[in-house]
Amino acid sequence: MIRTLPALLNPDTVRQARQWLLDLPENEWADGRASAGSQSAQVKNNLQLSHDHAVAMKIRQLVLSGLDASATFFSAALPLRVSTPRINRYTPEHPHYGLHIDNAIQVRVDGTKVRTDLSCTVFLNDPDDYEGGELSVQDQEAIHRMKLPAGHAVLYPGNTLHEVTPVTRGQRLACFFWIESMVRSDEQRRILFDLDMNLLQLREQHGETPETTALTGVYHQLLRQWANT
């Protein structure tokens, strides 16, 4: 299940985050291969900020606050743990991240392990700022190419083959992280999300009814069966 999260960060917030990144000296960006596994490092050529970089920590808090405020994120991801968000940058000199699958386990700065059921990218500058730089995700037999407005995010299964296509002009700025879900199965999360979204539409159209109350009970019964907390 691939889901976009429109306006996860509001325009003022993302504008401030982008300006912090544009103001950074070049030497404060590190080689992104340092955080990749041995296989991924062979196809990874980008730049990242260290976890303890002051700007990375400020943007991390903005992103985590955006996640906390997003009902769509909660419904789609049913998050149990979120990895430490990181900031990356692609330029013509450091242009791409080739096809790869993310590691099954990531370790947060506090040492907590996170199973990577879902991956998330938050775009921090607009598509017109750069050429190339699409997030390309292979979902079964389909390939989804995404290049979203600043502040928008995309969620996709952590076990998918994906890449960032080469940036040929400008620079692509983003925040990325992984989510361990209370519901491990992508198919079960899809069912719960679809049920939740349709319940919202029914309430908007008809208000609270005996049927929506009963279906809400079905939702929570399924969640009780499938969730680990």
Q: Three-state SS for 199?
A: helix
Helices (H), the chain: 11-22, 54-69, 71-77, 186-206, 210-226
Structural contact between residues 61 and 51, judged by C-beta atoms closer than 8 angstroms = no
Phi, psi of 125, rounded to the nearest 5 degrees: -145, 165
Per-residue pLDDT of the chain (229 residues; tens, 9 = 90+): 899 999 999 999 999 999 999 999 999 999 998 887 777 789 999 999 999 999 999 999 999 999 999 999 999 999 999 999 999 999 999 999 999 999 999 999 999 999 999 999 999 999 999 999 999 999 877 899 999 999 999 999 999 999 999 999 999 999 999 999 999 999 999 999 999 999 999 999 999 999 999 999 999 999 999 999 9
Domains delineated in the chain = 3-181 (2.60.120.620), 186-226 (4.10.860)
Rounded to a whole number of angstroms, the CA Rg of the chain reads 18
Q: Are the beta carbons of 59 and 17 closer than 8 angstroms?
A: yes
Closest to 35 (Cα-Cα) out of 100, 81, 82: 100
Looking at 70-185, list the stretches that DSSP marks H as alpha helix, in order from N- to C-terminal side.
71-77
Query: CB of 60 within 8 A of CB of 108?
Result: no
pTM for the complete prediction? 0.94
